[in-house]
Amino acid sequence: MARSLSAALLGAALLISAPTTAAAAPPAGGPAPGPPASVDTVYIPVEVGDDDERCVIVADVYRPAGADAQTPVPAVLTTHGFGGSKDSQVGLARDLAGRGYAVLAYSGLGFGGSTCPVSLDSPERDGRAAAGLVDVLAGAPNLYADPETTEPLPALDYVRTDAPGDPRVGMIGGSYGGQVQFAAAAVDPRIDALVPMVTWHDLGHSLAPNSIATTADGITAAVPGTAKTTWLTGFFALGALAPGVEGYLADPPRAQDCPNFEAEACAAMIGMVTDGLPDAAAEQVIDRSSVARYLDRVDVPTLLIQGQADTLFTLDEATATFHGLRERGVETAMIWQRGGHSGDPAPGEMDDEHPDPQSQYVTARIYQWLDHHLRGGPAPTAAPFTYFQDWVDYTGSAAPAYGSAQDVPVDPVARLALSETGLVPGTDSPAPFTRAVATVPAGLPMDGETVAWRGEPLTDPVTVVGAPQVRLDVSADPVPSGGPAGAPVFFVRLVDIAPDGTSSPIEDLVAPVRAPDVSAPIEVALPSIVHRFAPGHRIGLEVLGGHPEFRGAITEQTVRVHGGELVLPGF
């Protein structure tokens, strides 16, 4: 939720195009900004985990001008990305406070001066910590002026409550600061609205995805995938460096073993990098840190915002949460914005340093959501699902570039069969053929071999919205044995081929496949995209033996593709 979410994280489809509809620009949420809020840094002791471990949270409290016990206001908790702190949210916090919200911007466990180790957003630890902050917003006398918590401060008496001890409060934040909202809502029913941005549904899919054999939610794999080594090592370094020298000197035990990480979380990340897939212990960490496992405990109105430019937490993560909440009747909406961990927002989407609902589409949607659920403002009017279309020209707010729908499409706009000559229209099986690719042994930072299919130049544009599906008829030599660890690992991606022959992977997205059984066709779900193949361009499909961002196969194997089909969804 920044000008670049990668920066926030590290600093801190002879084929018919379906028409799309532009989403109407929603009204700006709440009143215009008022006088600057007062800001105070506070320290809040909380208890977390099954053993009630004491931690101290450092936070900034923004008090709107005119807020007092006689004129109480609703509150917002702002959360930050991995490696960030309360300071990552200053621009948004100031603006919300200027619009009449009491804002508590806090540093999560292990970051930005808050004590206790990083535990990957588990409800039992990070969720309970957030619940302790909700207590403070409800007026609990648990505020201190110093990190040693020896200098008490007056309790907050200017936050609106729905009942004694129950403040009117929402949460907003991105990435790591998105998942913690689910963790908090799972343990604290007092939270009234969530705005989780660019976060995960299943941490196993995020960090070690397998694009086959998924369960009902569409992303949780029945067979472990292969680790995103680049992202994992980056997380490890960020977490370990977060306290800095001063933090470790103040709390020497925090530097022992795996610095700044809860032992189980640390072992899970190291194991995935080393072995290429999560073991049983890592699966336990993934389970407790994934809303996929406790979604039935989340009953809060939720505005999901996910980035199209995101190789870490793909669009499918938000889609799985979107469907899971809606099936249970929870009020839910979803925006597929341009900006994600791997790319900046489009002009007029959102700028978290200088948010402006009048000129930023996503900011306006967020403010309207909070205004409705926290202040009783008008109900949101946008469709449940909206998505950014980068081929639409506009100026100012990105609203004209947004399409809208009731749900993510699954019906095909195109079916293309894999043949010896390339991608051919239709579903009839072409003549038999074989193409082979050698998979790269684990740990080698190289792409490996690639086999590719391309279609004919398009005469009409083809618009793809959703997750492309690929069926592959494959064999492997040697035959997979020894379970998932001995299975071949290869990668599938969709590419756009320009008239000059330049091939561009769409958003740099790739679908890893770990295939312990190749005796039957493999169904591969590629990451969801919003993309228009222009006239004159070609649709391409590639199978790669390795990828530099992932841990590869244990040993080199030959994977042979004998046929298949590509299905592109859209409206």
pLDDT of the residue at 8:
38
Helix (H, G, I), strand (E, B), or coil: what is residue 327?
helix
> What gap in Å lies between CA 151 and CA 218, rounded to an integer?
51
With a cut of 60, say whether residue 178 has pLDDT above it.
yes
pLDDT of the residue at 16:
27
The answer to whether the bond into 72 is cis (omega within 30° of 0) is no
- The DSSP output letter for 484 is G
> What gap in Å lies between CA 109 and CA 117, rounded to an integer?
6
With a cut of 50, say whether residue 436 has pLDDT above it.
yes
pTM: 0.93
Q: How confident is the model at residue 531 (pLDDT cuts 50, 70, 90)?
A: very high
> What gap in Å lies between CA 235 and CA 223, rounded to an integer?
24
> What gap in Å lies between CA 303 and CA 29, rounded to an integer?
14
- The DSSP output letter for 163 is E
Would the CA dihedral through 450, 455, 456, 459 be positive or negative? Answer: negative
Q: What is the mean pLDDT of residues 432-442?
A: 83
> What gap in Å lies between CA 125 and CA 140, rounded to an integer?
20
Radius of gyration of the chain from Cα atoms? 24
pLDDT of the residue at 10:
35
> What gap in Å lies between CA 67 and CA 298, rounded to an integer?
30
pLDDT of the residue at 22:
47
With a cut of 90, say whether residue 355 has pLDDT above it.
yes
> What gap in Å lies between CA 143 and CA 391, rounded to an integer?
50
With a cut of 90, say whether residue 554 has pLDDT above it.
no
- The DSSP output letter for 508 is G
- The DSSP output letter for 306 is E
- The DSSP output letter for 28 is P
Q: How confident is the model at residue 213 (pLDDT cuts 50, 70, 90)?
A: low
3-state secondary structure 191-243: CCEEEEECCCCCHHHHHCCCCCCECCCCCCECCCCCCCHHHHHHHHHHHHHCC
Q: Identity (one letter) of the amino acid at 355?
A: P
Comparison of pLDDT for 431 and 114, the residue scoring more: 114
pLDDT tens-digit profile of 370-426? 999 999 999 999 999 999 999 999 999 999 999 999 999 999 999 999 999 999 997
Q: Identity (one letter) of the amino acid at 263?
A: A
Q: What is the mean pLDDT of residues 293-305?
A: 98
Domains annotated for the chain, with CATH where assigned, are 35-200+299-405 (3.40.50.1820), 412-569 (2.60.120.260)
pLDDT of the residue at 14:
28
pLDDT tens-digit profile of 226-278? 999 999 989 888 888 888 888 888 888 888 788 899 989 888 888 898 888 89
pLDDT of the residue at 203:
95
Share of the chain above pLDDT 90, in %: 73
> At what angle are helices 263-275 and 280-288 packed, to 10 degrees?
130
Helix (H, G, I), strand (E, B), or coil: what is residue 187?
helix
pLDDT of the residue at 357:
96
pLDDT of the residue at 85:
96
pLDDT tens-digit profile of 319-333? 999 999 999 999 999
pLDDT tens-digit profile of 35-55? 888 999 999 999 999 999 999
Q: What is the mean pLDDT of the chain?
A: 90
Q: Which DSSP string corresponds to 406-432? A: SS---SEEEEEEE-SSSEEESSS----
Q: What is the mean pLDDT of residues 437-444?
A: 72
pLDDT tens-digit profile of 192-208? 999 999 999 999 999 99
pLDDT of the residue at 236:
85
> What gap in Å lies between CA 276 and CA 514, rounded to an integer?
11
3-state secondary structure 50-72: CCCEEEEEEEEEEECCCCECCEC
> What gap in Å lies between CA 450 and CA 472, rounded to an integer?
15
> What gap in Å lies between CA 349 and CA 363, rounded to an integer?
7
Share of the chain above pLDDT 70, in %: 92
Q: How confident is the model at residue 434 (pLDDT cuts 50, 70, 90)?
A: very high
pLDDT tens-digit profile of 465-503? 999 999 999 999 988 887 888 889 999 999 999 999 999
Among 568, 48, 489, residue whose Cα is nearest residue 229: 489
Among 158, 136, 154, residue whose Cα is nearest residue 145: 154
Q: What is the mean pLDDT of residues 523-531?
A: 96
Burial 279-312, CB ≥16 within 10 A → b, else e: eeebeebbebbbbbbbbeebbbbbbbbbbbbbbb
Q: CA end-to-end span of the chain, whole Å?
A: 28
pLDDT of the residue at 294:
97
224 phi and psi angles, rounded to 5 deg: -55, 150
pLDDT of the residue at 149:
97
Vertex 64: Cα angle to 63 and 67 (nearest 5): 90
